[in-house]
Amino acid sequence: MRPDWDSYFLKIAYAVSERSTCDRAFVGCVMVLEKRILTTGFNGSPAGQPHCDEIGHLMVDGHCVRTIHAETNAIIQAALHGVSTKGSTCYVTHFPCINCTKVLINAGIVRLVYSTAYRKDENAVNFLKVANIEFYQKELTTDDAGAVHPPYPHGTGLVVMPNIENGEE
């Protein structure tokens, strides 16, 4: 079946997430304007630095702080190449953290489509509402996900991520 545009770009976000180097979360982000991809990003270390999958995580207060998050990386890539993200839609595999949410707001996005509500932050939700950014969850089916996102040996990925929003662990 031919996917709708939101499914199409979310699937690409999952393909991007496969490049992530921190297995605590394989996150992928694609920013789109008028059905064209402006920039992409995944969770990874700063350029030229060792990755979590090489030397382990850098844990602070229960979070791995080695990586730059996918959404922030996507915006950095846009900045590096002189591409404006104003008015774009952000497609992301996981609901953004509070910091990425603030970055996305200031990057001028008007819409956010996410696939899993993993660690959905109520403060981030409120920031999006105040900023008038339309956001919604589009869950891909297992078949959709399987087509673009091969199962990882450590069990992350679309199907098995806990969905905090729905109270599932």
Write out the residues near Zn ion by the rule CB under 5 A.
22, 52, 57, 64, 66, 69, 97, 100
In the complex, minimum distance from the CB of residue 74 to Zn ion, in angstroms, rounded to a whole number: 11
In the complex, minimum distance from the CB of residue 90 to Zn ion, in angstroms, rounded to a whole number: 11
Is residue 80 a contact partner of residue 101, using CB atoms and an 8 Å limit? no
3-state class percentages of the chain: helix first, strand second, coil last, to nearest 5 = 35, 20, 45
Tokens linked to 105 = 């707001």
Is residue 164 a contact partner of residue 118, using CB atoms and an 8 Å limit? yes
In the complex, minimum distance from the CB of residue 65 to Zn ion, in angstroms, rounded to a whole number: 8
Q: What is the dihedral of CA 5, 10, 15, 16, to 10 degrees?
A: 110
Q: Which residues are catalytic, by number?
A: 71
Residue closer to Zn ion, measured from CB, 102 or 111: 102
Residue closer to Zn ion, measured from CB, 69 or 149: 69
Is residue 110 a contact partner of residue 87, using CB atoms and an 8 Å limit? yes
Residue closer to Zn ion, measured from CB, 63 or 141: 63
